[in-house]
Amino acid sequence: MDALWMSTLPSSTAAVGEDETAAAELRRGPWTAEEDALLSGHVAAHGEGRWNEQAVAAGLRRTGKSCRLRWLNYLRPGVRRGGFTPREQLLILDLHSRWGNRWSKIASHLPGRTDNEVKNYWRTRVQKHAKQLGCDVGSRRFHDVVRNLWMPRLVERIHADDSAAAAAGAATSRYYSASSAPAACQSVAAAAPDIVGNCGVRAPSPDAASCVTGSSSSSSWEASPAQFETSSPPAMAAGWAATAEQCQQNGGCSSSATSGGDMFDESWSELLARANHDGAESAGLPDFGLGETGDNWWSLEDILQQPLY
């Protein structure tokens, strides 16, 4: 398959100078293992940056731009690949509602994930759902569906996973201190403690602490992200347990999605159809107070801070 991409840029001309010859030999397309090894070795020795120089010094017939992209998205240590977990999906939905297509900014709060991966997730999964619903991702309709169906399902899934882990003795679950963090952060941490914790670890600044909530600062919050690990506040747990029960009663909420899968692959359409026909409340869906989320179309905080039902 590489052969097709081994073509060079641009096509040569009758009389080319040295620069043009060099340009004509630039490779494009998929990277080979040898190229990866060359680039990795060079970056390990000389650090990141000055990509054009590194490309030449390493003997790579690639542009600096291409080298940078390959390193950041694939070769860099710590890059995570594979499907997004429910926590990551939840965070992407929430952060996108705040920042829009700021992929790099969103990815910075998902440890090990690149902007390219987040962007691809959005385009392939989220936009796919919007298409299935016959609406645009920017439409009010889609935002409501995400906020009232998708995000609660993700939270439900997260708690189910946490419970399973706790039951297996794999976690030392404990409730967080009610006074130790801003309310909004508590809510987010309850749903995605590892993500929030990682935000704090990676960038223990007020900005990092507010990675999801947008809150400005909180010393107690910044100081102890670990306290949120596998948290399961009783009220929250009761709330989402109720959600699960209601979904089961309505026969539309399978929990068969895997960590890397898509939460709504199986029940999305029928749930939505039911919601459209009966209205969210009669369909067993909680009333989240549509249209009262301020600047954000949907918000993880809002989802989690809704009164129990």
User: Smaller CB distance to DNA: residue 43 or 212?
Assistant: 43
Decide whether 117 or 194 has the Cβ nearer to DNA: 117
CB of 8 to DNA, least distance (A): 11
Distances (CA, A) of 242 to 90, 120, 231, 252: 19, 33, 18, 14
C-alpha triplet 214, 140, 132: angle, nearest 5°: 110
CB of 101 to DNA, least distance (A): 4
Is 64 or 206 the residue whose CB approaches DNA more closely? 64
Tokens in use for 49?
Answer: 């940056």
Token readout for 136 is 């645009």
Which candidate, 85, 69, 10, 78, places its Cα nearest to that of 36? 69
In the complex, the smallest distance separating the C-beta of residue 224 from DNA, rounded to whole angstroms, is: 28
> How much is the CA Rg of the chain, to the nearest whole Å?
23
Q: What angle do CA 93, 156, 190 make, to 5 degrees?
A: 75
In this complex, which beta carbon is closest to DNA, that of residue 129 or of residue 159? 129
Answer yes or no: are the C-beta atoms of 267 and 129 closer than 8 Å: no
In the bound state with DNA, the residue whose beta carbon lies nearer, of 127 and 173, is 127
Residues that bind DNA (CB under 7 A): 1, 4-5, 9, 27-31, 49-53, 62-66, 68-70, 73-74, 81, 83, 101-105, 115-117, 119-121, 123-125, 128, 262
Q: How far is the CB of 150 from DNA (least distance, A)?
A: 15
Q: How far is the CB of 199 from DNA (least distance, A)?
A: 16
